[in-house]
Structure 1
Amino acid sequence: MQLSRFTDLGLRALMRLAISDRAQERVTAKLIARQVNASENYVAKAVSRLAELGYVESLRGRTGGIFLTPAGRSTTLGRIVRDLEGDTEVVECQGVNPCPLASACRLRGVLAQAQRAFYAELDNFTLADLVDRRTVELLHLPVFPGMALVDD
């Protein structure tokens, strides 16, 4: 299973925001795009969706920026990925070109079981589990006192 580029950028944006201190730093889609080596337009679309889902707050203006919400900090990665990917099946058995094996095939069930296991594993983690001092160093950011980071 491969995550979409949209989900990848959404997760990168959340990871970047997870190491931000709202009082110390103004983070924008442009900054995130530069730091995670992605298109500003794609990052902005991902951030917009994350805001709709309640994982980030986006404020306009001179003192604005993008900020991680408490829900963004505490929600599991499994829930975030489900929300960004849409909880759809791994394979499309019906549709425009339906599979002739669909009525007797067990592949669909096996893939659905694997997908549930994938999400169940991601449900064991939050953003805090993904970022550490090395993440901060790679982004060339200062470490602020009280920053909640996983030790290496």
Structure 2
Amino acid sequence: MKLSTKGRYGLRAVIDLALTSENEAVSISSIAARQSLSESYLEQLMGKLRKAGIVKSIRGAQGGYRLGRPPEEISVGDILRALEGDLDPVDCMALKHKEGGCVGQDACVTRYVWQKISDSINETVDGILLSTLLEESRQKAGCRQGTCDL
């Protein structure tokens, strides 16, 4: 499974937002500058994240974006699904949720493989919380500043 730029850039943007928005809302332009992303593309990603409740927008002179929930309540899976849709490795897995499902699902031997892969992906991304990524980021920043003991 390959994630598109939506998932990759969106995850970077949410981590950046979480690191910088503890005291005030953060502008799209500041996130875009720090992450070397297009402001217009980031605006689109933030719209999807806002609809999913992961971020919230604040209007006005001091406006921008903040997290919609505490980092302990946001998983990487939440972020990726908001941006990418379902994380199924093959298109036929998405059909299981639709009426009628996949035409050959009852006789499909490979379905077992796709289901196991899908379960592993979802378990992994749902098990990684934004708060964990923030802690990792802070530790790496400390090491870059020469304050970590290795």
How does the TM-score come out when normalised to structure 1?
0.71
Q: Write 1 or 2 for the structure with the bigger share of helix.
A: 2
Moved more, 46-55 or 62-71: 62-71
Q: What secondary structure sits across from 1:45 in the alignment? A: helix
Query: d(CA) in 2 for partners of 1:91 and 1:49?
Result: 23
- 2:3 corresponds to which residue? 3
User: Compared with structure 1, are the counterparts of its residues 81 and 33 closer, same or farther at alpha carbon in structure 2 (3 Å cutoff)?
Assistant: same
Instruction: Write out aligned runs for 1:27-42 (5 A).
Output: 27-42=26-41
CA contact (8 A) 1:26 1:64 kept: yes
User: Compared with structure 1, are the counterparts of its residues 56 and 37 closer, same or farther at alpha carbon in structure 2 (3 Å cutoff)?
Assistant: same
Q: What secondary structure sits across from 1:62 in the alignment? A: coil
Instruction: Write out aligned runs for 1:66-105 (5 A).
Output: 66-70=65-69, 73-87=72-86, 89-93=88-92, 105=108
User: Compared with structure 1, are the counterparts of its residues 108 and 120 closer, same or farther at alpha carbon in structure 2 (3 Å cutoff)?
Assistant: same
Instruction: Give CA-to-partner distance per residue, 1:6-54, whole Å, 9 cap, x none.
Output: 111221111011112442x441111111111211111111111111111
**Does residue 16 in structure 1 map to residue 24 in structure 2?**
no
**Does residue 107 in structure 1 map to residue 106 in structure 2?**
no
Report deviation, 1:102: 8.1
Query: d(CA) in 2 for partners of 1:119 and 1:60?
Result: 34
RMSD: 3.1
Residue 7 of structure 2 aligns to which amino acid in structure 1? T
How does the TM-score come out when normalised to structure 2?
0.72
Unaligned runs of 5+ in 2: 93-103, 143-149
> Percent identity among equivalent residues?
32
CA contact (8 A) 1:10 1:46 kept: yes
CA contact (8 A) 1:76 1:127 kept: yes
CA contact (8 A) 1:55 1:71 kept: no
- 2:97 corresponds to which residue? none
- 1:126 corresponds to which residue? 129
CA contact (8 A) 2:57 2:65 kept: yes
User: Compared with structure 1, are the counterparts of its residues 102 and 69 closer, same or farther at alpha carbon in structure 2 (3 Å cutoff)?
Assistant: closer
